[in-house]
Amino acid sequence: MTPDWQTLEAGFPPAAVEHLRGRYETPGSFSVTVRDLAQDSGASEHDAEALLEALVVGGNLTKQTYKRCAKCGVDLSDDASDGQCHNCNAAFVDENPISVVRYQLDREAPRDVPWVLVLHGMNTRGTWQEELTWLIARSYKQMVPVAIYKYGMVRPGVLFGWRQRMIVRRVIKKFVALSKQARDDGFHGPPDVIAHSFGTWLIAHALDDQRVRVGRLILLGSIVRPDFRWDRLLADHKVDMVLNHGATRDFWVKVSQYGIPKSGPGGRVGYPAPVRNVAAVGLGHSDYFDPEQRMRQLFADVWQPFLRWQSVPPLHGAFEAPRWRPAPLLIRVTTRLLLVGVYASIVGGFAVTLFYGLLCLVR
Amino acid sequence: MPDNERSDLQKARDLVRDVVLAQSNIFIKELLRKKDFKGAATKDQFEAQLEEAVDSGKLTYAELTEWIEEMEGWGNEHVYLYKVPDALVESLADPVKVKARLVKGGLGDLWQADRSLEFPEVRKLTGIYHTDGELTFVWHEGADYRKRAPEKDFDEDAADGEHYYYQAYRRMAQRDVTRVIVRRALLAVFLPGDNQPATHTDRRVDLCGEIKALAPFTDWELYSMGEAIKALDTASMRPSLSETLRAPNTRWDAKGGGYVDFGSETDGSYAAVDELREVRAAVRRSKFKGGHAQFRLRLPPLGEKQAKEKERVAKVHLFSDYDRIRLTARLTRNDVWWILKKIPKKRRK
């Protein structure tokens, strides 16, 4: 239950309320004493106690008294008493145990991010990956290794199924190698993955391989079809949780199904639960990463909470996916053939020009 | 009423007064519940209900002695776990072979002996039992400890011109039960009293000396509590176990010397606190040893009714120093074995 912060601020020192609010918004458990809160917020002990008691009455905190050895400080609560401390042997009659009252909130522990794999999209070499890696490295106090997988620019290649399959196989091979290296160095557990554009398509299809398992998956500008069976992958524990962060003005996501086989506007339409859909209002296909300040904000407001909370709190911009039907097959086939034709004519024209150029040189 | 029945009745009454009431209220409550007595909350009320149960024949002397065996001396003790050599596992699980060796070693009269209610001043081996493949050695000792009695303090001006303060301690009698139990490949030594682990070494040598014909355990390998600490602390960080296993305090000893102490000021895991979890994530297990730790394990309910009441949690302290386990709360036999089952049995690396 979340306290009504506005009401509390009206009745208690705002600095103390703000301090506790910060703790509530941090994942995991916390506890304070009256003196802790008074010292950290500058409030009087009387006001700090009144605030904490109000939160206890509201069911937001619990109040617990702990018995501690006055000499060594060890916790004596619930111990069988032989009249002395089990740790330092202090006789309680001489060193009377002290009582410490703590106000506490017991919640799930924060989630660990073992390591992160970042996958970029097509038509880019993913320079944002370096920026994101640097941002992740600064955001965690412990070492969170970030692996960037670059597969090059695959502009026309995405039009062909055989080329897609080839890249998926490469991603799987790299994923397996990185997982082994991470494990060998003590980073246990599957990686969290942040994928953009064609990277979302690659990881979604790489999950078909039995060797690939990921923790939490963040899809940015996803071109995975909205009817993709994430539910099966989640039920099979191939992926723990999926966040679909879709930009509302993403043109390429909207039209992907007309050119890329087995793709669709997942980023804009969303996916059925249990996938979490969050709209990035007003952004285009690659606006998540530029400018850097925006990426930092999205990381703090959306990606980081998704990765760090065991039970993800409500995220701003969440939406439910409507029912989706792909564009008529005839249209999709026609547009793809057109694109292939354009590509073939460009390649063919280039080849003919090259051939005649060489012929002229020889003559 | 026949003499032997009257004698059992009287013995049961004595047992209630001298032994049963000294046990933890929660356990007495559960015993009374099984006999359909409810509502008692104080020792006086428990005593009245127990006497009624005994007088009405609902609670027999045999049931009481069995119950005491389940309750008395369990918890609030130190435990040491040894690995039974593979070659001895089968022979120690075989009651015929064990009995033959006991008789040969002059301990035949202790084989499946009646439960002794005697607590001599000097520790005495009172019985050797073999039930369901489990071999148990039981020692009794009427120990005592000092408890401060400030009401008896006084001060006086002495003849030498100085003023002296005298502090009084009352001698408190206590029934200590020491056990060595062999369960297949595991031998557990249960030592009550004394918090000084250095003295435990001598006590274990003494115990071993008495039963060396069967189980010369001081020569056997002690399971590493340092390794157990590492495994349990790591397990406590898994979300799926956070309700049943908590690690409020853990000390990690650096292999290069020094240590890192992680501590929660509540009964929750320190790793549930965001800042501490970040620091903990920087601890590479391969570079540290488990030093000591306190774990909180949620115990199974005592009975069906108890399941609906407040959960029972046992505090378990593990120390790599001397590879000892310290239980600080009173528990039942089943509780203690449940806890020992949860402690990873790992060899020292």
- A297 occurs within a structural domain: yes
Report the range out of A197-211, B52-66, B303-317 with the highest average pLDDT: A197-211
Question: Which of these three, A66, A86, A105, is where a domain ends?
Answer: A105
How much is the pTM? 0.81
Whether residue A67 is found in the same domain as residue A207: no
Tell me, what's the pLDDT at A157? 64
> A25 touching B, CB under 8 A?
no
Q: How far is residue A296's CA from residue A284's CA, in Å, rounded to a whole number?
A: 17
- A357 occurs within a structural domain: no
- A338 occurs within a structural domain: no
∠ CA B39-B42-B43, nearest 5°, is: 120
Interface test with A, best of B191, B240, B243, B277 (most A CBs within 10 A): B277
Contact A80 B313 (CB under 8 A): no
Whether residue A94 is found in the same domain as residue A137: no
Q: Kindly provide the residue ranges of all beta strands, DSSP E only, lying in chain B, ordered along the sequence.
A: 75-83, 124-131, 134-148, 154-157, 163-166, 169-183, 186-192, 221-222, 245-254, 259-263, 288-298, 313-319, 324-330
Residues 6+ apart with CB under 8 A from A227: A264, A324, A326
Contact A66 B265 (CB under 8 A): yes
Interface test with B, best of A23, A24, A32, A78 (most B CBs within 10 A): A78
Whether residue A124 is found in the same domain as residue A22: no
| Tens of pLDDT, residues B234-260 | 999 887 777 789 999 999 999 999 999
Residue that is written with structure tokens 């202790």 in the block: B110
Tell me, what's the pLDDT at B65? 80
Packing angle, helices A14-24 and A45-57, rounded to 10: 50
Whether residue A171 is found in the same domain as residue A312: yes
* Domain of residue A35, residue span: 5-105
Check if the beta carbon of residue A158 is closer than 8 Å to that of residue A164.
yes
Q: Least CB-CB distance to A80: which of B75, B242, B278?
A: B75
Whether residue A91 is found in the same domain as residue A207: no
Percent of chain B with pLDDT over 70: 95
Name the residue type at position B19: V
∠ CA B248-B252-B258, nearest 5°, is: 130
| Tens of pLDDT, residues A112-168 | 888 999 888 776 666 778 888 888 887 776 677 888 877 665 566 667 778 888 889
pLDDT at B208 over 90: yes
Q: State the Cα torsion B197-B201-B206-B208 to the nearest 10°.
A: 120
Tell me, what's the pLDDT at A137? 80
Q: How many structural domains is chain A composed of?
A: 2
Query: How confident is the model over A267-282, as a mean pLDDT?
Result: 95
Whether residue A320 is found in the same domain as residue A175: yes
Domain boundaries, chain B: 3-71, 77-222, 225-342
Residues 6+ apart with CB under 8 A from B261: B249, B250, B251
- A124 occurs within a structural domain: yes
- pLDDT-derived band at A246 (thresholds 50, 70, 90) equals very high
Q: Least CB-CB distance to A109: which of B146, B267, B272?
A: B272
Question: Which of these three, A75, A105, A135, is where a domain ends?
Answer: A105
Whether residue A223 is found in the same domain as residue A299: yes
CB contacts of A105 in chain B (<8 Å) are none
Which pair of structure tokens corresponds to residue B243?
């309700």
CATH code of the domain covering residue A319: 3.40.50.1820
* Bridge-based pairing state of the strands B154-157 and B288-298: unpaired
pLDDT at B225 over 60: yes
- A208 occurs within a structural domain: yes
Contact A66 B274 (CB under 8 A): no
- A212 occurs within a structural domain: yes
Whether residue A41 is found in the same domain as residue A122: no
- A68 occurs within a structural domain: yes
Q: Mean pLDDT across chain B, nearest whole number?
A: 87
CB contacts of B76 in chain A (<8 Å) are 79-80, 82
- pLDDT-derived band at A359 (thresholds 50, 70, 90) equals confident
Whether residue A55 is found in the same domain as residue A198: no
Q: Least CB-CB distance to B329: which of A29, A80, A94?
A: A80
**Which range (A281-295, A345-359, B45-59, B223-237) has the least confidence?**
A345-359
Q: Least CB-CB distance to B328: which of A79, A89, A102?
A: A79
CB contacts of A83 in chain B (<8 Å) are 145-148, 172
